Each structure stands twice: as structure tokens, then as C-alpha cells.
Amino acid sequence: MAELRQNIITRDWVIIAKERARRPDEFVSGIRPRPPVDAYQPDCPFCPGNEQQTRHELFRVSGEHGWKVRVVTNQNAALSSEGERIRTINGVYRCMTAVGFHEVIIEHTRHDRTTALLTVAEVADILTAYKQRYSEIKKDPRIEAIIIFKNHGEGAGTSLLHPHSQLAATPIVPTQIRRRLEEAIRYFDEAGECVFCRTLSEELHIRERIVFESEHFVAFIPYAALSPFHLWIFPRRHASSFDDLLDAELMDLAVNMRTVLAKVYHGLNDPDYNYSIRSIPTRDQRTDYFHWYLTIIPRVTRTAGFEIGSGMFINTSLPEESAKFLRNVKVPS
């Protein structure tokens, strides 16, 4: 019989369809190879030489031959950095001015690069840009939450090929984040410990779902993964906010992320994916109960009506098998 598993961190339930489960390599066959891409695309606004086409540059990591990573305001920013937070409540209608930040992190000068194939130093440059913008934006008193995320491939929601990720800073705490905090607090009040630390220590003890361990980070597939190859990368040291990241940890996260994304790239034939950094709202800091982490979601299946109607998911893979599969994928170092 299939099994329902509950994710204790999100409280989400997932149906692990054991009998219907596909072998890890069966997911690969559905993934179409990407058409070849040039290293330089003259009409790409993110390619070198077209810097004037992007809006105000907010940060750059410089190299010997110009920039290596640039952060610019999103051309189609959904949030505006000008103006005040004004909240209007009119009966059941509640709205607010969309002040905030919406930025693009241009990850590399080359149009055809992808994180899985970068060097560790190049991934560290991207993380440096993330951290710098995170720390800077956090100071703005209008901001409540900062979300850093990447859409890789059309199925993951991007149409722009040049490697990039995004940062959105919102003037409210999104409900999903608020609820995770509430659950984390509830667990802390009951058990006197961080639910993330507890989960990590259990995973390291059982060792069934670990994908990759480095000095400061552990990548694993959650026990109640909502979809195949859904991955979490947790810092070993308890920290609530992404910008608590120390320099040595940042370098090690680059090693971990790059290795895990390379395993996904080589093992699953470069599927579309999203990743996102889940950090505590900016006003809360260094709590005992919340632990920041990175979540990676390869898009090898589609969300359908059942998920929309219930918020529950059906996962047609076994987390333990998927973890073993990725653990065994050899990647060039």
C-alpha cells in the first residue's frame, strides 16, 4: 500500500506512491535535451557589452577582465523601491502599496553557462552577490521578507536563457513563510529544540536520504519530499538568517550547491529546476527556532488538480531511492 508522509517542518502531507513509483532513471527519459546555445548572444541584455540595457546596477563582483557577477534592478520589477508602505483595509478587501525590491543577479558573463558547470569560485561569486544584497536590503525598514530564487529552464518559469537568479524583497511576510514560522515555534515550545536541527541530526543518523555532505552543509531528500528529487541543503550550524553565513561557510555552500546541481544535471539530464533560499523574516534575527536553508525542486513532474485542490502532493518516487541514485552520480570535481 502507498504511504502518507507528513513533513514535520511544513506540516504538508504527501502520498508516496510506492507501487506506482518509477525508478529514478525513468524520470530521465522524459527530459528533452536542450538546444545548443552560443556563448555570446549579441541581443541579450545580460551579455557583456549590453550593460546599458539593464537598469541601475546595484552590485558587481569584479574580475581581471570586467565584471563576473552583476546585480541589477529587474526590468519588469513587480515591486518598486520608491514610496511608502500604505495599507488599506476596506471590509474584506485588503491591499498595500507594492514597495520592495525586485532584482536580477546576472550569474556569469557567458550566455551558455549553467550553475552545474561553473567552478566553485564562480558559484561563490554568485553567493557573495546574494549575501551582499540580502544584508543591504535588510536595513530597509519597509521590508519584511527577502526571497532569493532561481528559475532554470522554461518549465521552471524563465524564458531568458542567460544564467540569472532573482531577489524579491516584500513589505509583508508572505503567509506561507509566516505559517512555517508558526510551526517552528510550536515545535520549539513543545520539544525545546529547533525542528530543523533535529531533522538534520536524524537524517545524519539514518543516512538513507543523504545526497552529499560537505564541511558546513548537508544535502538530502526530505522524508516527505513533495516531488521526485526535491532536495534540501541545510547548514549544519544553527542560524536563522541567510546572511549569518560566515565566509568559510559561503565557500563550502558553493562546493555543496555546485556538487548537488551537477548531480542533478548529469544524473537527470539537465532538467528544469527552481531553487530558493528560505530565510527568516528580516525583523526576526538569530532565533532558536528557525533555521535557514536552500530548497531545490527539479521539475520532472507537473502539478495538477489534486495538488491545487488539496495542497497535498503525490510523489511517484521513493525519497530513499532518489537519494541513493543522486548520491551515486559521479560528477567532475
User: Interface with a second copy includes 96 (CB under 8 A)?
Assistant: yes
331 touches 259 (CB < 8 A): yes
CB-nearer residue toward a second copy: 114 or 329: 114
Point out the catalytic residue in the list 164, 216, 230, 291.
164
Q: 49, 63, 141, 157: which one contacts a second copy (CB under 8 A)?
A: 157
Cα(25)–Cα(325) distance, integer angstroms? 8
Closest to a second copy by CB, 5 or 329: 5
How far apart are alpha carbons 187 and 181 in whole angstroms? Answer: 10
15-54: contacts with a second copy (CB under 8 A): 15-17, 20
Helix (H) or strand (E) holding 235: strand 231-235
If the CB atoms of residues 158 and 214 are measured against a second copy, the closer one turns out to be 158
Residue 55 identity? R
The Cα–Cα gap between 144 and 281 comes to 6
Q: Which is nearer to a second copy, 102 or 110 (CB)?
A: 102
Figure out which of the listed residues 62, 119, 303, 328 binds a second copy, where binding follows CB under 8 A. Answer: 303
Nearest to 241 by CA among 177, 152, 316: 177
The DSSP element (H or E) to which 5 belongs, if any, is strand 3-6
Binding window for a second copy (CB under 8 A); candidates: 39-47, 119-127, 147-155, 241-249:
147-155
Residues within window 187-206 making contact with a second copy, judged by CB under 8 A:
195, 198-199, 202
**Of 187, 207, 171, 195, which Cα lies nearest the Cα of 78?**
171
| Footprint (CB under 8 A) of a second copy, residues 158-177 | 158, 165-166, 168, 170-172, 174-177
Interface with a second copy (CB under 8 A), residue from 35, 192, 309, 332:
309
Among the listed residues 95, 121, 160, 248, the single contact to a second copy using CB under 8 A: 95
Binding segment for a second copy (CB under 8 A), chosen from 144-152, 233-241, 263-271, 317-325, is: 144-152
Residue spans of alpha helices (H) in 116-239: 120-138, 175-191, 195-206
Phi first, then psi: give them for residue 229, nearest 5 degrees.
70, 15
Q: Binding to a second copy (CB under 8 A): which residues in 216-245?
A: 223
Is 266 assigned a catalytic role? no
C-beta of 149: minimal distance to a second copy in Å? 3
SS3 state at 297: strand
Kindly tell me which residue out of 1, 35, 36, 333 binds a second copy, with binding defined by CB under 8 A: 1
Cα distance between residue 92 and residue 95, in whole Å: 10
In this complex, which beta carbon is closest to a second copy, that of residue 33 or of residue 92?
A: 92
Single out the segment in contact with a second copy by CB under 8 A; choices: 11-19, 39-47, 62-70, 244-252: 11-19
Strand 231-235, strand 101-106: pairing = unpaired
Q: Which of residues 246-285 bind a second copy (CB under 8 A)?
A: 274-278
DSSP state, 80?
B
- Residue 270 or 329: which CB sits closer to a second copy? 270
List, as one string, the DSSP characters of 10-22.
T--EEEE-TTTPP
Give the three cell numbers for residue 20. 506506482
Residues 52-91 that bind a second copy (CB under 8 A): 76, 78-80, 82-83, 91
* Residues belonging to the active site: 164
